[in-house]
Amino acid sequence: MVDGPNILRKVGNKQIKLDDIDEIAHKLGSIGEKYVILNRHASEGLIQAVINNGYTPIVALEDVHIQMAILSLDLAKRGGGNILLLASRDAKCTPILMKLKEKGMKTAILGFEPGFSISLKNVADYTLEL
């Protein structure tokens, strides 16, 4: 699950791409469902790019992190895999990881510096950097 506004951006001279995320995610095993949570300002071009990369776009009308929490708990309830990889740098996602671990799910966090939350790194079972 990708926090679109937080991750799909230019860092230095490099544009973070969904292919980069997939490449790292494959190190944890096979990839099941793939989602990008976007805010209401997402362009049609970005939504189409998400679809073209095999991800399901979800446009949050309010806070992206609330939509991520809802989807995460739904995946845990459905048994949507044995590990959830969350691509975000935002500390607002820490409670999501904590709740998933409480439900017995392994968690991984994927982010980059600057601004990669220390709390995310400390809570996740696995920390991966772009």
Tell me, yes or no, whether 50 lies in a domain: yes
Using 50, 70 and 90 to split pLDDT, how confident is the model at 44?
very high
Tell me, yes or no, whether 61 lies in a domain: yes
User: 13 pLDDT exceeds 80?
Assistant: no
Tell me, yes or no, whether 88 lies in a domain: no
User: 80 pLDDT exceeds 70?
Assistant: no
pTM: 0.90
Question: Percent of the chain having pLDDT more than 70?
Answer: 98
Burial degree of 16 (CB within 10 A; 0-12, 13-18, 19+): middle
Tell me, yes or no, whether 89 lies in a domain: no
| CA nearest to 62, candidates 44, 40, 81 | 40
Q: What is the pLDDT of residue 12?
A: 75
Tell me, yes or no, whether 90 lies in a domain: no
Query: Is-cis flag, bond preceding 114, omega within 30?
Result: yes
Number of domains in the chain: 1
Between helix 94-102 and helix 64-78 the angle, nearest 10°, is 10
Tell me, yes or no, whether 27 lies in a domain: yes
Mean pLDDT of 53-66: 94
Using 50, 70 and 90 to split pLDDT, how confident is the model at 15?
confident
User: 16 pLDDT exceeds 80?
Assistant: yes
Task: Provide the residue range defining the domain that includes 32.
Answer: 2-83+95-129
